[in-house]
């Protein structure tokens, strides 16, 4: 099993970010943080390709999981990395199956985590 999911976007960086933000809003998910690594690098005189991490989730979905498995708080809320590469724009996230395995969660607990696959596909302009 691969610990990360990588999905190649059909569009440019800005369009992919906008589509991801729309997808999260449409699902009623809160964006808790937005980390623009490229902008941060620029503040110290360094350059890097467009690289953004959105941290998001739902307290209603995530809190019960963290109550049952407190260490899961290390991996929640969920995050998606959007990065510009030589091959295009990629969306990257932790594989929910890896989270289940890492924290010893039952597959029945995976429902709130598995949505990440659909979210990434939609943000990439790819329908599963």
- H runs (alpha helix) in the chain: 13-26, 37-42, 59-68, 96-103, 111-124
Q: Judging by beta carbons within 10 Å of its beta carbon (0-12, 13-18, 19+), is residue 24 exposed, middle or buried?
A: buried
Which region holds residue 49: left if phi is over 0, alpha if psi is between -120 and 50, else beta? beta
pLDDT for 107 equals 85
Written as six digits, the tokens of 2 are 């691969």
- In this prediction, residues 119-125 reach a mean pLDDT of 95
pLDDT at 19: 97
At residue 127, does pLDDT exceed 80? no
Expressed as residue numbers, the domain containing 73 is 4-124
pLDDT tens figures, 54-94: 999 999 999 999 999 999 999 999 999 999 999 999 999 99
- Residue 122 predicted with pLDDT over 80: yes
pLDDT of the residue at 128: 61
> What value does the mean pLDDT take over residues 86-107?
93
The whole-number average pLDDT for the span 104-123 is 89
The domain tally of the chain equals 1
Q: 127 - beta bridge partners? A: none
**What confidence score (pLDDT) does residue 1 get?**
62
**Sequence-separated (6 or more) residues with CB below 8 Å from residue 61:** 112
pLDDT digits (tens, 9 = 90+) for 16-52: 999 999 999 999 999 999 999 999 999 999 999 999 9
Which pLDDT score, from 0 to 100, does residue 21 have?
Answer: 98
The CATH code of the domain that includes 57 is 3.30.310.70
């Amino acid at each position: 099993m691969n610990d990360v999911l990588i999905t190649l976007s059909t569009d440019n960086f800005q369009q992919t970010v906008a589509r991801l933000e729309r997808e999260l809003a449409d699902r009623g998910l809160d964006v808790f943080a937005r980390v623009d690594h490229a902008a941060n690098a620029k503040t110290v005189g360094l350059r890097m390709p467009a690289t953004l991490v959105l941290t998001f989730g739902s307290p209603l979905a995530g809190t019960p999981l963290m109550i049952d498995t407190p260490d899961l708080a290390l991996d929640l809320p969920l995050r998606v990395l959007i990065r510009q590469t030589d091959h295009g724009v990629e969306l990257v996230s932790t594989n929910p199956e890896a989270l289940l395995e890492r924290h010893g969660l039952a597959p029945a607990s995976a429902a709130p985590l598995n949505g990440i696959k659909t979210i990434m596909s939609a943000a990439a302009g790819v329908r599963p």
